[in-house]
Amino acid sequence: MSDRTFAPRSAKRCYVRPKDADVDRELYERLSLSGWNNVLKKLTVPARGGLAWELKAGQTCRIVTAYGPQVGDLNIWNLHDFRERFYSGKTRAIHRGHLTTSDRLWSSFPYLRPLATITQDSLHQYGVDEDGCGLHDVIGTRCDPYTHKLMTGQMGKITCHNNLIKAVKPWNLHESDIHDVFNVFMCTGIDKHTHDYVIKGSPAQKGDYIELLAETDLLVALSACPQGDCSSPCGQPVPESSCFPLDVYVGQPDQDLSQEWIRSKF
């Protein structure tokens, strides 16, 4: 047994938030309402499958658990330069491990700018529960065949990793372009005693949603996780009946409001 002692820890300090982390909440709320009133198209990500779509600057994108509790794994790229993509680690450092309304999704180096801003979150009041868990995770990663093999001895065939690869193939993107995800509706945390990464079943119910506004032209890819609401232990089979599609609504705010948003960026 070591008799080593430690000096008292200094007071905690938080990561310094850049100026661009702050948003005009009132403006973005109006953009959200206007976009929802002007839906351009509705898409459906099939249960246990994936889908990708283009989202133009200033458009909104609402992801809805329209059929039941379901986790989604999200990837985002700059539509005109796929080298610029979502950076979950820096997003986590700037905001926190779980995102909600007015938080932003930041891009990779050397760009490091907001790719999208969360405008609505029907579950924003969930906060942090008694187990230290929150929603909309940027701590964990996507399910993938390689980790599945480490855990079970067999390559997983249906995973978010595979779904995202297939979804972005029409844009000539490949497996190496898939990156760490924004886990929408996923409930996770860090155990305060063991420091283990904890995953709980999503509390999302039919009709819950999270909405993003594109800060630049984007390619967005989403997988409806084959683990459903992620309530089953990792590596365990999940009944297909426990997995649901995710609906996506792309909205276009009114022109006058979009011009106000553009002016606000300069």
Q: What is the pLDDT of residue 152?
A: 81
Q: What is the pLDDT of residue 6?
A: 61
- Structural domain that includes position 149: 47-264
Query: Who wins on pLDDT, 134 or 155?
Result: 134
- Establish if 4 belongs to a structural domain: no
Mean pLDDT of 149-156: 79
Q: What is the pLDDT of residue 3?
A: 66
**Residues 206, 189 contacting (CB under 8 angstroms):** no
Nearest residue to 210 (alpha-carbon basis) of 199, 220, 195: 220
Mean pLDDT of 20-26: 91
- Establish if 195 belongs to a structural domain: yes
Q: For the ranges 16-20, 60-64, 166-170, which has the lowest average pLDDT?
A: 16-20
- Establish if 67 belongs to a structural domain: yes
**pLDDT band for position 262 (cuts 50, 70, 90):** very high
Q: What is the pLDDT of residue 174?
A: 97
- Establish if 175 belongs to a structural domain: yes
| Sequence-separated contacts (24+) of 162-167 with Cβ below 8 Å | 163/48, 163/49, 163/50, 163/73, 163/223, 163/224, 163/226, 164/50, 164/73, 164/75, 164/221, 164/223, 166/50, 167/50, 167/51, 167/52, 167/221, 167/222, 167/223
**Percent of the chain's residues with pLDDT above 90:** 82
Query: Who wins on pLDDT, 49 or 22?
Result: 49
**pLDDT band for position 95 (cuts 50, 70, 90):** very high
**Residues 89, 197 contacting (CB under 8 angstroms):** no
- Establish if 18 belongs to a structural domain: no
If one counts the domains in the chain, the total is 1
Mean per-residue pLDDT of the chain: 93
- Establish if 39 belongs to a structural domain: no
Q: What is the pLDDT of residue 78?
A: 98
